[in-house]
Structure 1
């Protein structure tokens, strides 16, 4: 009896149910983990998914990275590649294998720096260093700027080339600084503080260098430099690396340019555009003056035309009177012709409404209807005559008199037609109607027909 109770309290699982529980437990407990290791046994089937083993000197774990994720990477790993991956721990239920489902991967060389960058980015964002409302506006029409960069680098050459082409009048002061290496952050901070010391009449500061790896650009990811940029009195423009490179200095700066050349474009006016504007204004002023001059000339000519000799004015008035007289005569003739036409029209209407004309039309209509009626009668009379003959013939055929002429008689008793022998008895007087008269008869006896 005890063995039976023990069996009833067991929680018996199938293998698949157990694997499902383990998978859910792993996915909840390790929803996102970062793991660093070496890739081995990399397999890429036709589906595009990646299957590989991530190992270190003491252990290994199976990994899967599906096509929707690995196609976003900028490289394809190989066996032996040291990588940093992010993913969630799970269980492949079909085989019961513990595995890591990867959704992000980067080569391990930049991995540590990338993690440090992301951590600092989150910290500074929480401190409000990236807030848009704290950004200083860049003045328009800059006349003097300070550029903090390496005086021998490619970035300063690109900037100066663009400025010379666009607006050579913009004054530039280069504050030299290392832009790479361990000493670079301190030199950048010193140069930025120098730019804000007030020794120059600079209106903005450009912080720039050329492209490179994440390690090359690391000086611009310094936390202390970020706070100095935030505390700067002058607006700071950051142009570090290429368009795809993002540094902490870019995020804290008041304006970020994709490249050093792009920064020069943003900070300088375009002399060609300015010249075009000047020429446009010149043309506008020229047009305004020409318009005013022409307007005054036209008014002068108009005043000159008004100052005419009195004799000429009298001739003009006489000519105007002649013109009015001719127009009046023409109007009278036109009005007379119009009234004459209206009179003829009214006469024609009166003739059309004359009683004689109306009677004549009615007589013509009556004559036409009489002729039409006569023709209709002449056409219909033979047909109706023939119909009458046919009806008479049919009537004669159906008439009782025609039946009597064939030898039949109509028997009546007291003016009532007798149809059966049961309606009379011997001794009754009956009348037999023939075709040419009647017979008075007495019933002697009756005989009924056998049914």
Structure 2
């Protein structure tokens, strides 16, 4: 029997374990990196994800940019483009591929976006849209604040928190819009237009939180800039952080470094109001005390000059009693007069009561009805007698009566009445009608008249 010896070989990792450990090592060592290079082998499958390699003169690395990140890219990358990317270094375990998960992409060097920014800035500045003389003053104490931003972003949370702390009594209307991506530009313009038509807010905050130049690009669009310039409501631009600058900042009536700072600028501080209110309350109390003292002195002087009103009230009471008695007497007289007049009218009404007229008219109607019924019966009998006489006369001249006395009517095959034998020939079919019934026959002989 062969003795068993312990396995002294080192522990071997599986391929999956090795790839998993390598991935963890890469992701913890490189939290986030910026890499610049040339696009190679770009692929955009139907899933919406982008796959490509980033290379320089010596090396290359595989990259993947998923749909959630690339949908914010305004210009589609092409093979051979020089770009800068920001992303996380990782390992695709299934193939063991070293790669970068791209979160942001922009052109290398100055970049097309920066060039477009400078060009639009120069154009609008030449038109005078940045001129300080055209900017509107913000209200010292706004009655209503409008906010054009994303309803789910951090910016709206910061704005509402500051407003709730400084002056929660001011109503706030949010005009929701996307603040990043291709659709954001038109949505921001529409939101500003809705605020303008709503015409409730007397100051409008327009902005979002921080991000890259590409993330903030919708606030560098010409249509957004012109919408802000044409808005009759005073506007505050609050885009990004303090270091971020957009075209909207130049066009707006006021630029705030952050959304929180914008809320600070447009809202009064309730603590300052309370302090001023307390000061006014103290001043009002002192003024009231002086006024009460002066009125008290005036009341003392007037009280000394005032006559006893009780005598005048007694005279007025006696006068009211007299007028009351006269009024009651006049009312009783008026009631007696009206009662007497009503009695006379009742008697006249009874003598001319419509019941008598109705009874008399009903009797006349009854008599007329009897006469009408008699006349109808008499006329009906006359018409019946006349009809009977005409029927007898008609019966005398009726051909049916003649047939009843033994005569007949002969017709040929076509239904014509035969009045002469010349109308018939031997063999013709004839039809004879009697007073009761008829017969059909064939002519066997025809005799001339």
- Normalising to structure 1: TM-score of the pair? 0.41
Larger Rg: 1
- Normalising to structure 2: TM-score of the pair? 0.41
